[in-house]
A and B are shown apart, each in its own frame.
Chain A
Amino acid sequence: MLGGGQPIIVLNQNTKRESGRKVQLQNINAGKMIADVIRTCLGPRSMLKMLMDPMGGVVMTNDGNAILREITVQHPAAKHMIEIARTQDEEVGDGTSSVVILAGEMLAVAEQYLEQNMHPLIIIQAYRQALDHALEALKDTLSVPIDINDDTQMTEVIKSCIGTKFLGQYGDLACGMALRAVRTVATTDESGRREIDVKKWARIEKIPGGAIEESCVLDGIMINKDVTHAKMSRKVENPRIILLDCPLEYKKGESQTSVEMTAETDFTRLLQIEEEHVKELCADILALRPDVVITEKGVSDLAQHYLVKAGVTCLRRVKKSDNNRLARACGATICNRTEELKESDVGTQAGLFEVKKIGDEYFTFITKCQDPKACTVLLRGPSKDILNEVERNLQDALGVARNLALEPRLVPGGGAVDMAVSNFLQQKAKGVSGVRQWPYSALAQALEVIPRTLAQNCGANIIRVLTALRAKHASGATSWGVDGEMGELADMNKLKIWEPLAVKEQVYKTAVETAVLLLRIDDIVSGSKKAKDGGEGARLPLTWEAWNKRGNLPKNIVH
């Protein structure tokens, strides 16, 4: 019926479109594939992954988010999975591997129902219903409150979080550090709202060299700077500190000005003015008798001269964020115009100013602060890669400590709570009407992936362990889980493996909602605009073979 049977081109020919069942299955596969990548990163017997980025840099980690951030995937559904790890990391800081594994499993169990021609929306409804019930169960029956001022209890929880990480070997040290850092930066504002901004006020500084045991939380700030002039004193006790964010040198005006010189003396006069200006700046500062002056901008030689003469130590070009932390730690106010300096702007709460040489670099320590509201976490370790991994671990630990301080409730770890929720949902499933019952109980089954993976990673007999665990939970022992070290069943109350409720809740919510979003899709249109292989690549199913071919395969390395 068309003239000459010519096809009618409606869409841009470069776009590729796929729809229907195929897309749904493809999305599920992509989700599973991503989950498989980091499956071995869960639990105390987890392995590290070594990733090479295109620039040749090496990342060694078992942090789910860090791994997924580095690998480039092209399938859009796989991108979703990677995004959720990021969300988890930003929101609670821990549980990034769990969330991806769980979301992958939730997609996987939906596959059979799609093949049986069940409408995705029915599956989705069942999932949402199950999520609501699961959250209820978590909050009401399975979680226990914790006293955040109890050190031993808090340490246990943080320990079970970093037990799975490289830092696990130094458990006590790391827990102490995380706890101390979080307590330091915690503040309560006028309205009684607790605020804990770890990112802003606790800085992690890594200095290669030394042993990991030498890491510590300072009761103050460390900055990677040396004094500007060799003659300045490198150690001051109870220093008076002035913080500035203006340069101590002559700065020209912003407006364009030109000077017409008529007399010979004019030029000397100009130079004089500049010198006088610097002298005035220094005089203003010296009037307050400081011991240490720290500025975000430069300090001219002349200013240094005046300061040295007055016996004042000076640091220059400090980062803005460091300066803010300093202000909080030593109680100073950052000043911009020296003529407006007041006595109240001077920080007096620091106990010790000291410049130390570590390796061949100088570091400035401002420590022994009374009530520091900001701190530096100093990490030492044999190599940069290890330090990076330690930092990531510590970030997770900080996240856990922060969550606990904000919401002091715990659930048993080691897959115990997942099993308990799964068991609870299986019971409830019998009361769900209609076809929805099947996906509902499938979701319950999907939760078992956490204990299963734990058992798998430590080489236990999965079927035996899991059936035994199921039996335990059926008899009402909800705190039993898998001991990830030995691959045996254990009472998590006794082993003292706990997780914060906030993390677990977020894992469930994110995993279910991601599964819901991916299941709703029945059409993928890709590669609009681009004529190159981008469009095609975007739809390649993500397989190890495909990755191999493209040469961006992350290699597993046993550490």
Chain B
Amino acid sequence: MTAESVLSIQGKRSSGTPVRTENVIAASSVANIVKSSLGPVGLDKMIVDDVGDVTVTNDGATILKLLEVEHPAARVLVELAQLQDEEVGDGTTSVVIIAAELLKVADELVKQKIHPTSIIAGYKLACKEACRYIQNNLTMNTDELGRDCIVAAAKTSMSSKVISIDSDFFANMVVDAAMAVRTSDGKGGYKYPIKAVNILKAHGRSATESAIINGYALNCTVASHAMTKKITNAKIACLDFSLNKEKMKLGIQVLVNDPAKLEAIRQREADITKERIEKILKAGANVILTTGGIDDLCLKYFVEAGAMAVRRCKKSDLKRIAKATGATFLTTLCNLEGEESFEPTYLGEAAEVTQERVCDDELILIKGTSARTASSLILRGPNDFYCDEMERSLHDALCVVKRVLESSSIVCGGGSVEAALSVYLESFATSLSSREQLAIGAFAQSLLVIPNTLAVNAAKDATDLVPKLRAYHHSSQIKTEHSQLKYYGLDLIEGQVRDNKKAGVFEPTLSKLKQLKFATEAAITILRIDDMIKLEQEPSKESGYQQALKSGQLG
């Protein structure tokens, strides 16, 4: 099957069915890796990298990112998980599993001599139909269900993670944090920039002693011990330059004739910074945050003025603080006239700025910011790995909450949507007389992989549970009096089918829609491949420069 080098290619070429089969197997092996982490009874993976650093995680995207997947088709799935992570933030494991299953059934169909393009057409149709069905029939409006359902959605997202047992505690925390960063988008709606939720980790204590702080926590300490540790009615200046002794930029020289002038230069150097500080303090600032350094010689002025000065803050932190407090993030004190000045309007305001001790670290907390609220989560746990995993889990949950709040629409989790879609698409397929019927049927079949995997992970009998679930959904779709049954999903702890609307297992609609769309797209991408050319690395290791030298270009 390997073509002899008709084309002068330095490498291997393979085409036809073997390529497709190979791709499908690669894809399913990737899915197999993450499969066991799906669902509330999924387990974690421990990944050790070459330097021996350990990561313990349950997040599909993180697992795949840390594994070095080499196979090109498998890489598509890895990127798929990454995409889902960026777009939605949750459901990364599911999307990979669905995509792999779609490929597997498609491969079967191809082996039955159905052309890939008709499968692709069928998949596209099925995906479109499925999305339409979700939006029309399966969604619920969060406004009717209230805060409880948002908390429930966060809990669902956490249920598979290490913090599942304390999910009540963390879900409320996450919802509070997300609510705190709510900002209006100017069109009557609200946005929830979850990046404004600052997550800090400190090992020690136990997970349930994690705390939400109404304000911004900064992982820095005041520059001098003599400074006050608490300021109420803080006026905050955010600076992006150092308050060091002023010195000339590189390459600039000052030539003096009179030796006495040398002393003047020295004096001036120290004075420039002093004047700057005086200007800032005069404007009323009592908390000065800077990304650069502060010279020891300047600290005294702050101490005497009773101000807090913090050096070497992270730029991203400062930008957010500037936003939250209404301060102007200054890169220089120069104004348009070329003079140095500091206006009181540049200052941001906060009710309180304190330095507090958490674990062995000191943190600066900015509470009661004026322009918009900010929130920070301080995570505690037995060791750093635990904290890292908590952070990832909370990030996922925050994303879910954000999506739910922004779109205010949710669907039931626990395999409910997939089962409903599967039943619906099967009946939809029979209504078509074209060639796509088979592909849509296959699509319907492959969606069942989610409830199946959930049941298998929970060590429950999938062959028993999934048909039961399908039966419920079937009757909900044909009998109007049974329409409430469409919210039924799996209860994996007890191994039963139950009403997941009542049980409070929710996922954002957006997450489900994107999962289907991304998985279908990825499957199609891989299905379209029928030829693979692997180029071998060129033996020449000479650098461009040497080549150029040889060919005489540099003569």
Write the nearest CB–CB distance from B464 to chain A, whole angstroms: 17
In the docked arrangement, what's the CA distance between A17 and B68, Å?
Answer: 12
Nearest B residue (CB) for A524: B46
Binary B-proximity of A514-527 (CB < 8 A = 1, otherwise 0): 10110011111111
B45 close to chain A: CB less than 8 A: yes
**Are B383 and A8 in touch, CB under 8 angstroms?**
no
Closest A-chain residue to B75, C-beta based? A10
Residue B18 contacts which of A3, A251, A514 (CB distance < 8 angstroms)? A3
Interface with B: A56-64, A158-166, A167-175, A269-277, which one? A269-277
Q: Would you call B14 an interface residue if the criterion is a C-beta within 8 Å of the partner chain's C-beta atoms? A: yes
Does A287 have its Cβ within 8 Å of any Cβ on chain B? no
Contact with A along B296-331 (1 / 0, CB 8 A): 111110010000000000000000000000000000
B67 beta carbon closer than 8 Å to chain A: yes
CA distance A191 to B166 in the complex (A): 32
Q: Which residue of B lies closest to A345 (CB)?
A: B300
C-alpha gap A324/B226 in the complex (Å): 9
For B359, give its contact among A11, A76, A91, A252 (CB under 8 Å).
A91
A310 to B541, CA, bound (A): 73
Chain A contacts of B49 at CB under 8 A? Answer: 526-529
B-contact 0/1 string along A1-45, CB 8 Å cutoff: 111000011111001010100010001000000000000000000
Cα A419 to Cα B158 with chains together (Å): 35
CB contact list, B41-83 vs A, under 8 A: 41, 43-52, 54, 56, 58, 66-71, 74
> Is A77 engaged at the interface, CB distance under 8 Å to the other chain?
yes
The answer to whether B36 and A522 have CB atoms under 8 Å apart is yes
Q: Give the CA-CA distance A66 to B217 in the complex, in Å.
A: 32
Q: CB distance A91 to B204 under 8 Å?
A: yes
How far apart are the CA atoms of A188 and B73 in the complex, in Å?
63
Residues of chain A with a CB closer than 8 A to B67's CB: 11-12, 15, 525, 528
**Size of B's binding interface in residues, CB under 8 A:** 82
Determine if A335 is an interface residue (Cβ-Cβ < 8 Å).
Answer: yes
Given the known interface contacts A1-B21, A2-B21, A10-B69, the answer about A534 and B385 at a Cβ–Cβ threshold of 8 Å is no
Are B30 and A10 neighbours in the complex by a CB distance under 8 Å?
A: yes
Does A256 interact with chain B (Cβ within 8 Å)? yes
Q: Is the CB of A262 within 8 A of B269?
A: no
What's the Cα separation between A74 and B67 when bound, in Å? 19
| Chain A residues, Cβ within 8 Å of B230 | 189-191
Min Cβ gap B153→A in Å is 21
Cβ of A361 within 8 Å of any chain B Cβ, yes or no, is no
* Max count, chain B CB within 10 A of own CB: residue among A27, A254, A262, A327: A254
Query: With A9-B70, A83-B385, A334-B226 given, is the CB distance from A119 to B165 under 8 Å?
Result: no
Nearest chain B CB to A11 CB, angstrom units: 6
Docked Cα-Cα span, A307 to B127, in Å, equals 87
Is there an interface contact between B68 and A8, defined as CB atoms closer than 8 Å? no
Confirm or deny: A231 has a beta carbon within 8 angstroms of a beta carbon on chain B.
Answer: no
Number of A-B contacts (CB under 8 A): 246
Is A255 in contact with B383, judged by CB distance below 8 angstroms? no
In the bound complex, residues from chain B placing their C-beta under 8 Å from that of A128 are 165-166
A262 to B259, CA, bound (A): 10
Contact of B255 among A258, A273, A527 (CB under 8 A): A258
Interface pair A10/B29, CB less than 8 Å apart:
yes
Interface stretch, picked from B87-95, B243-251, B517-525, is: B243-251
Across the interface, A516 reaches (CB within 8 A) one of B40, B45, B162, B246, namely B162
Q: Are A257 and B265 in contact (CB under 8 A)?
A: yes
B71 touches A9 (CB 8 A): yes
User: Of residues A77, A513, A516, which shows the largest number of chain B Cβ atoms within 10 Å of its Cβ?
Assistant: A513
A490 to B437, CA, bound (A): 80
| Nearest residue, chain A, Cβ from B384 | A83
Contact B226 A521 (CB under 8 A): no
> Interface digits, B235-266 against A, CB 8 Å rule (1 contact, 0 not)?
00000000001111000111111011011011
B381: interface (CB < 8 Å): yes
In Å, the complex CA distance between A506 and B48 comes to 28
Contacts of A49 in B (CB 8 A): none
B248 touches A528 (CB 8 A): no
**Known contacts A257-B256, A340-B300; is A80 also within 8 Å of B383 by CB?**
yes
CB contact under 8 A between A513 and B382, given known A90-B359, A260-B256? yes
Interface code A113-128, partner B: CB below 8 Å = 1, 0 otherwise?
0000101110011001
Contact partner of B47 (CB less than 8 A), chosen from A119, A513, A526, is A526
Our pick among A12, A19, A255, A527 for the contact of B269 (Cβ within 8 Å) is A255
**Chain B residues within 8 Å of A197, by CB:** 357
Contacts of B297 in A (CB 8 A): 245-246, 336-337
Binding site of A, secondary structure by majority: helix, strand, loop or mixed? Answer: mixed
Give A327 to B226 CA distance when docked, in angstroms.
9
Interface membership of chain B positions 199-235, coded 1 if the CB is closer than 8 angstroms to chain A and 0 otherwise = 0000111110000000000000000011001100000
Question: Quick check: A521 and B69 within 8 Å, CB to CB?
Answer: no
How far apart sit A76 and B446, CA to CA, in the bound complex (Å)?
36
Determine whether A253 belongs to the interface, using a CB cutoff of 8 Å to chain B.
yes
Contacting residues, chain B, for A9 (C-beta < 8 A): 70-71
Verify B50–A534 contact, CB threshold 8 A: yes
* Known A-B contacts A76-B54, A80-B385, A528-B68; A254 and B245 likewise in contact (beta carbons under 8 Å): yes
Is there contact, CB below 8 Å, between B162 and A520? yes
Q: Specify which chain A residues have a CB less than 8 angstroms from the CB of B192 in the assembled complex.
A: none
CB contact under 8 A between A255 and B70, given known A260-B257, A327-B226: no
Closest to B26 in A: A10
Q: Which residue in A87, A336, A520, A535 is a CB contact (below 8 Å) of B50?
A: A535
A266 close to B (CB within 8 Å): yes
Q: How far, in whole Å, are A324 and B49 apart by their CA atoms in the complex?
A: 42
Cα of A261 to Cα of B360 in the assembled complex, Å: 56
A299 to B44, CA, bound (A): 60
Given contacts A3-B18, A506-B205, A522-B44, whether A84 and B226 have CB atoms under 8 Å apart is no
Asked whether A260 lies within 8 Å of B255 as measured between CB atoms, the reply is yes
Contacts of A1 in B (CB 8 A): 21
Interchain nearest-CB distance for B340 vs A (Å): 18
CB contacts (< 8 Å) of B206 on chain A: these are 131, 509-510, 513
Query: 8 Å CB contacts to B: which residues of A439-483?
Result: none
Residue of A nearest to B58 (CB): A520
Of all chain B residues, which has the CB nearest A296? B296
Most buried by A among B226, B257, B303, B386: B386
CB neighbours of B259 from chain A (8 A): 259, 261, 266, 269-270, 273
Residues on B lying within 8 angstroms of A by beta carbon are 1, 14, 18, 21-22, 25-26, 29-30, 33, 36, 40-41, 43-52, 54, 56, 58, 66-71, 74, 162, 164-166, 203-207, 225-226, 229-230, 245-248, 252-257, 259-260, 262-263, 265-266, 269-270, 296-300, 303, 357, 359-360, 381-386, 389, 458-459
Q: List 29 A-B contacts (CB under 8 A).
A: A8-B29, A10-B74, A12-B67, A12-B70, A83-B382, A84-B383, A90-B203, A124-B165, A128-B165, A191-B230, A195-B357, A255-B254, A259-B255, A262-B257, A273-B260, A335-B300, A336-B298, A337-B300, A340-B300, A511-B382, A513-B386, A517-B385, A521-B44, A522-B43, A525-B46, A525-B48, A526-B47, A527-B48, A527-B49
Starting from the known contacts A128-B165, A266-B259, 13 additional A-B residue pairs (CB-CB under 8 Å) come to: A12-B67, A12-B68, A27-B46, A80-B385, A256-B248, A270-B259, A506-B205, A517-B56, A520-B56, A523-B33, A525-B66, A527-B48, A534-B50
Residues of A participating in the B interface, judged by any CB pair closer than 8 Å:
1-3, 8-12, 15, 17, 19, 23, 27, 74, 76-77, 79-80, 83-84, 86-87, 90-91, 117, 119-121, 124-125, 128, 131, 189-191, 195, 197, 199-200, 245-246, 251-262, 266, 269-270, 273, 277, 324, 327-328, 333-337, 340, 506, 509-511, 513-514, 516-517, 520-530, 534-535, 538
